[in-house]
Structure 1
Amino acid sequence: MTDGQQERDFEEQVRELLARDAYTIRPSPAPYPQIRRRGVVERRRRVAVAGAVLVTLAALPVGAYAVAGGGGGGASTATSPTPSVSASRSPAPSATPSGPVRPATDGQLLDGITFEQAAQAVEQCIAYDERHTPGPGHMDLGPADSYRVILAMRSTGDSNAPGDGMYVVAVKKDDPQGMRMICNIREGEAQGLNIGGADAPGAAGVMPDINGGKLYQQSFLDKGNWALPFRWGVIGTVDPSVTKVTVSYGGATSEAALDHGWFVASGVLDEQVTVAPRVKGYDADGTLVYDSDRDPSYEKTLP
């Protein structure tokens, strides 16, 4: 065998080995769920840019804000809202055979919405997420019976999300601050969904939900021209040491329901406001331990 023939045989062997390795060597898969969750948490911390985000949304197509979080929080201006949620603690409710758990109080199901309707809405929202966020980065929300409904109320349509409907808020029943969903149901179908982990109450014992602004304000596109009357809701996390939470909005004060680490308040505005809800928390001695007006991370005016 000549030297040239030996070299060609050697090259062919090398090519064959490289070709085999090309099918056996592959990079480790990226941890998409962890990356996404870390990104969600980081975005929730960026409160300072909440106003700028809402301004940007004004240039987006109709419906863009329906699936994104709003920011907000603060004091109030004079209107005539109707407070509606009781703060009494109820015994832990039981779950339906295949659906979510009931809220702690009946006052968290508003505007004639039944628990059965709210439970069905949770299932619709999970199905909506599976249809609209497929792929390797999808965060599995889990089954409907892993959730607790903490609020259901009517939603008022605006120029960004036309059509009245219903908001349902649900949290993981075994890890209430691990996952929270806010979902809008219109024309019998889920039309928008905001999901994320809840912020811990912190040293003050109370933390309003930074993405809960969609529950108490209409679209930035409708600034100065809200559809009224307007049902509003405010949610957030609360430490067990806090025994009372009040929310003032539009000149009236509602006492929030306390539900497994969450507070839930609601009312009705008959006039548009420019100052966001003011949240206060009290301990068992009646001492004020949290005031959103003193919280630098809380947006105190509406965009």
Structure 2
Amino acid sequence: MKHTLKYIFTLLILSGLYACNGDVFVDEVKLPLTEATLSGDGDTLTLRFNTPEWSLINAYKGEEIYGLYGQFYTLDGTDMGITKCHLEDKGKIVVKDLGQELILVRPNDRELQVYIGDNPTGNPFLFSVLIGNKNHYGKEQEIRFTQSPGSGYVIDRIEYNLIPESVGTEIFEDNYLLCLNSSGEPEVRTYNLNEWMRRHIYLSCATSTHFAQTDDGLPSIELPSADISQGLKPGNDRIEYFQNGNALVEMSVQPPFMKTMTLQPGITEIRRIAEYQVYSADYTLYLRNAKTGKPHTVQGTLRSKTPTRTIGFYLNHQENDK
């Protein structure tokens, strides 16, 4: 009986000690590092832990407080659906909606592999992972990563895919010419209103892209043909590529549209009214890393507004100040 009471008393003491210090029987997770710099042209880093009791709690972009999500796969490639970036056991997460490639893999109980693709921007890319202990919450530790800017891309080609429902005609007016008559008398002049016309090109892309500096200057793209009566085909015009904005391509329309008008003394603005063919096309820009040659693609939308004929004009006159 005495030995039985002693045994029970010992168990109570041990239980009390465990309750007071929960770390006694828990393997402490020691981080292999707390910060790391990765190459902007793609990199791989393997983190090795001192215990199998670690877990990936989540991953974060920059200073954002909301964790990232990704497609979860088993190591044999079975797609298990979308989840937050959490790994307690073996598996792989392909992070989504990040603007670049980031893959987190737990190949075994003691390693976390970090794969990151090209940094497509000209700025450092920041992200972090939160590491915890499987059996002891509240012991999370952060590892911060900085990916350097990449070497940039060069353009191989661009391909367009017409959006059929976007095709149509519209009427626009523009400033054809600003004329000065300083003779003091009305003057009769004749102009070809189908000259000095402009094709409007609008580019829209959600992805920021860093281009390598070359001797050829700024990167340029080939525009699709203005005339799509025979389908969307490559054109003869080129413009400098930009992410979002508007470019003008000077052009003339045949046959000439000759008009004779009387210009009063002073300044007269000739306002031209013309018909335009409009359409939109999705584009894919095929790039390659200037250093590694690794291919990369960017998707966006082009909108073309091309004058087809002048249908009229009117004059805005302003007399000389006396």
For the pair shown, which has the larger CA radius of gyration, 1 or 2? 2
Q: Which has the higher contact order (CA 8 A, sep 6+)?
A: 1
Shorter-chain TM-score: what band?
Answer: under 0.3
Structure richer in helix, relative to its length? 1
TM-score by length of 2: 0.27
Q: Which structure shows the bigger proportion of residues in strand conformation?
A: 2
TM (normalized to structure 1)?
Answer: 0.28
